[in-house]
Structure 1
Amino acid sequence: MEERIGVYVCECGPNIKDAIDLHEVVKFVQGLDNVVLTKAFGLLCAVDGQELIRKDIKEHNLTRVVIAACSPKEHENTFRQCLEKAGLNPFLLQIANIREQCTWVVKDKALATDKAKAIIHAAVRRVAHHEPLEVKEIECQPDALVVGAGIAGISAALTLAQKNRKVYLVEKLPCIGGKVARYEDVFPNLECASCILDPILDEVLHNEHIDILTLSEVQEVLGFYGNFLVKVNKKARFVDSETCIGCGACVETCPVKVTNEYNEGLDQRRAIYIPYAGALPNIAVIDKEHCLRWQGEACSACNEACPFGSIIYEETDQARQLRVGAIVLAPGFDLFDPAKAPQYGYGKIDSVYTSLEFERL
């Protein structure tokens, strides 16, 4: 069965009517395949314009409708509702934007007329291929995932949690706070960084709506807006988060010393360590890449020193699947690479430091 297409050209006051040869456009459209009705009208979005369309759909058995008017962002939903009230599937509609894309940008009337014809012709060809669609409601997950627990990530997590939404805060490092937590003072007022940050971190740690996943990284994201399935790999800490109080007894007995990346390589840390003073959560973590136990030696110094029996050598990585409706990416930033400015002698002159190295001195 051939489609019966109705085409309506909105005059939109002087916006369209005075900018093109309306009569010529209507005459052109009348000759297009499957077009059985063509009308120009003052304001199609007005009540009487919508009533005209509804009446024509029923009287002329229209199966498709083209509206040549303004941007679909303005009134596409208006005309969809109009079709639905007339008993026609609302998705059998095509908007031809001849205002923003034609009459407002083409000053020559003849050229604007030709362009309007082309836009409407394309809309007529396209609407013939439309298929009726059905509006469906799907379950939307209210939970959210925030990737990165620096100042931006924790701020986002708190904002979401204040709306009583469950938040999964994923951080690849053993602690939260990002780079700000490693600074003494912050710009522009040289305020105490920890004085500003610590109360916020404490609020995040004790918020019942926020599930903090440190030592964790996103492996895969499936789904779409409102329904994401996220696979997260949570690396083993090898220390019981429930019983460790961060006393540091285990750190003192560890025989291994390696470069301390949290102090920008300016000193050394142990294979079991708390990243820096004031790190939250205040829980030790074992670096198995440097721990003697994972090098084949029978070292258990940290376990023997721990007064709470918090060391769990047999702990393994955990794979978690999270269902969330929204994902916030707050991966942080990298500092400027001083190697790109060799004139300052970084790496050659001992007394030349980066800003973060200076903070960690």
Structure 2
Amino acid sequence: MIKFFRKIRQKLVSENKFSKYLIYAIGEIILVVIGILIALSINNWNENISNQLRFENILSELRDDLKTDIINSEKILNSNKKVDSLSRLILEQKISKDEYLEKGPGNLFWIGLQFSAFDYQKTAFKKFENFQGIIPEKYLSIVKNVNYYYNDLGQLHDDRYLNFRQQVKDRHDYLATKTNWYYLMKENKTTTEMIHFYINDPIYKNWISQHESDNTAGKYGTIKSMQSNGFGLLQTLTKLLGDSYMINNKNIIEKYGSPLNNINDFIGTYESMQTKNKRQYTQKNGYLYDDIYILKQIKKDTFIYVDYSSWEIVFTRDSNGMVNGIKQNYLKDSTKNQTAIKISSQ
């Protein structure tokens, strides 16, 4: 090809056809420029494809980390349900001296004196933060959600956990310096003074009250919030990546349920008949959400909030079987019940 163009140039020069040569030269330059532009375009296309694949791999790793967080946090939350239950009994003074004697220091005596660590995975997030490339436009919407989970919720959890752990340490320091039986408790022995402290001393009741509210693994704790948000983020990632990723863990499936086949029946905007406030029901990968709160189906048209099971949502249907409203029932106080009508399916 190069020889072909050289021959043309030489012929034009030898024939002294300068104007034609000039036109030819310009044309040749244009062809070269077009070739360069095509090469650059192909190179950019290849880089964009490579860039997207690298970012998708990071998102897949993020999802695996979230799965680990969700499963690990569920173990912690389940083990702390007993702690929450016993804390209530202690505050309501429903645990007797005989029960303390029967159960011994290995159980009741450690309520308020232990904590559970939740080390959420951060390896993939560090790759996400340090991603060297342009984030593909189709994935820009996930950036805010990922940062919220790790930088906002994660930091909140870390701060509260450090504070909570210090509280527990301070209680141990108090018992070690203010009592003459602390070492005996650690040896699984019981004394009359020990039982008196746990049943009658207001200091211990204050500890339990503080423990109940500040326990990161308790029903008001940050681990619960991180799990719920992490589950939603995992569903969003799966929807964006366009695959069929699932958490095949029986405890998680039992807690959150399975994706709904008829999810479109329920999504839309509902207006309260009492307050005229509007509520938006959306879906993430087949799971129904009321704002940021995930709902679990327990009957055909009946749902509960995963994090707040005292609230029940019952969707109503018209004579044609189409969802036309909801009944929001507070199972602990029916005076707080509300109804709403569906005003939009979007």
Normalised TM-score (structure 2):
0.21
User: Which is strand-richer, 1 or 2?
Assistant: 1
User: Which is helix-richer, 1 or 2?
Assistant: 2
